[in-house]
A = this chain, B = another copy of it.
Amino acid sequence: MGILRKTQSLAVMLAEFDKSSHAISAIDLIRRLSNKLNKTTVYRILDKLEDDGLLHSFLGKNGIKWYAKCNGCSKTAHTDVHPHFQCVDCGQVDCLAIQIPIPELPNRTALMSSVLIQGKCQNCL
């Protein structure tokens, strides 16, 4: 349903995403904010921010959910699709500002694709 009210919790969450340019996993966010926000609240605000096109979500290693800021998305059009990179050493996750072309598939229609590249980040090389 998206964000309707400017609450304290919302401010806290947005501040957290403004702090760093990396993606943040839901779990980590819950841990970081555990003294301020309930985990249910965190999940719910993440949902709404995604609905509103301010965040996008994707699955990292082991199927856990990550969130990062969107670039140029709106409530109606999530156009900011890109691969994500996760460092196998430090676990850090980033959006990659590149496009991976998906070829035409015979007998199938591709609607979306998710690409996770794992490897070593600059710090861990």
A residues lining the B interface (CB < 8 Å): 59, 62-65, 83, 85, 88, 96, 98, 100, 102-103, 105, 107-122, 125
Contacts and interface: CB of A to CB of B under 8 A. Distances in A.
Contacts of A125: 107-109
Nearest to A65: B63
Nearest to A121: B108
Number of copies: 2
A91 to B, nearest CB: 14
Contacts of A103: 98, 100
Nearest to A115: B115
B100 A122 contact: no
A71 to B, nearest CB: 18
